[in-house]
Chain A
Amino acid sequence: EPEVTQTPSHQVTQMGQEVILRCVPISNHLYFYWYRQILGQKVEFLVSFYNNEISEKSEIFDDQFSVERPDGSNFTLKIRSTKLEDSAMYFCAGTPSYNSPLHFGNGTRLTVT
């Protein structure tokens, strides 16, 4: 069964550095999402992306965050200047149609020191 692949599995970065988290969605997926889970807290929606545009974003997704799908395959989340509070597990997800259940990747654990 095809999978959503996220790389790296663990990323350690220093505060203020830029970080890019990568996701390879399943090939027939058209709708893409990023979620995050801070340790001990709920999984939270960050952003949805369709047709090369952001469809919806949460309050968390401020100007420090951006997403893109530059080559039609990889879907990336960039954090421009990381803060300690950005430390979390970040999950990529996709779906072939807007009303289908999401398929999640295994996540990238981001640690900001």
Chain B
Amino acid sequence: GDSVTQMEGPVTLSEEAFLTINCTYTATGYPSLFWYVQYPGEGLQLLLKATKADDKGSNKGFEATYRKETTSFHLEKGSVQVSDSAVYFCALSGIGTSYGKLTFGQGTILTVHP
């Protein structure tokens, strides 16, 4: 079945450092890929998405590129802020009418220190 593997955390960075959170997936067909973020005490918020190979999703300075050849969707940000501290989840969609049946990675806790 479909699966998503994220780099193990937690990740601790200083403000303005470069961030990479690795995500690889196994899927049948051509799913869409997502990064969701969960701030403390809140729900899952869509951060960015990509719907096909070589698409780049971007939002709030975060980027991820859908790499079919390496089955990856790594999250990057050039300069993190304290406010980026959160849990980040990589996910893939189902296919067709199962689009909303998401498969999630285990989540990566990011802590950014001033």
Q: Digitize B29-53: 1 where CB-to-A-CB distance is under 8 Å, 0 elsewhere.
A: 0000010100001111110010000
CB-based nearest B residue for A49? B100
Instruction: Please report the C-alpha to C-alpha distance between residue A101 and residue B102 in the assembled complex, in whole angstroms.
Output: 10
Known: A42-B104, A42-B106. A4 touches B43 (CB 8 A): yes
Contact of A105 among B43, B49, B98, B103 (CB under 8 A): B43
Assess the B43–A91 pair: CB atoms within 8 A: yes
Which stretch (A14-22, A64-72, A92-100) binds chain B? A92-100
Within A14-73, the residues touching B (CB, 8 Å) are 31, 33, 35, 41-45, 48, 55-56
Name the prevailing secondary structure of the A interface residues: strand
Minimum CB–CB distance for B99 against chain A, Å? 5
User: Count the B residues whose beta carbon is within 8 Å of the partner chain — how many?
Assistant: 22
CB-based nearest B residue for A31? B100
CB-based nearest A residue for B97? A98
Counting chain B CB atoms within 10 Å of each CB, the highest count among A56, A91, A101, A103 belongs to: A101
Instruction: Please report the C-alpha to C-alpha distance between residue A43 and residue B91 in the assembled complex, in whole angstroms.
Output: 10
Known: A43-B89, A55-B97, A98-B97. A106 touches B102 (CB 8 A): no
Instruction: Provide the residues of chain B in CB contact with A44, threshold 8 Å.
Output: 104
Contact of B43 among A31, A98, A101, A107 (CB under 8 A): A107
Instruction: Please report the C-alpha to C-alpha distance between residue A35 and residue B91 in the assembled complex, in whole angstroms.
Output: 13
A102 within 8 A of B: yes
CB-based nearest A residue for B98? A56
Assess the B101–A45 pair: CB atoms within 8 A: yes
Instruction: Please report the C-alpha to C-alpha distance between residue A104 and residue B34 in the assembled complex, in whole angstroms.
Output: 13
Assess the A102–B41 pair: CB atoms within 8 A: no
Instruction: Please report the C-alpha to C-alpha distance between residue A104 and residue B104 in the assembled complex, in whole angstroms.
Output: 14
Instruction: Provide the residues of chain B in CB contact with A105, threshold 8 Å.
Output: 43
Interface residues of B, Cβ cutoff 8 Å to A: 34, 36, 41-46, 49, 89, 91, 97-107
Interface residues of A, Cβ cutoff 8 Å to B: 4, 6, 31, 33, 35, 41-45, 48, 55-56, 91, 93, 95, 98-99, 101-107
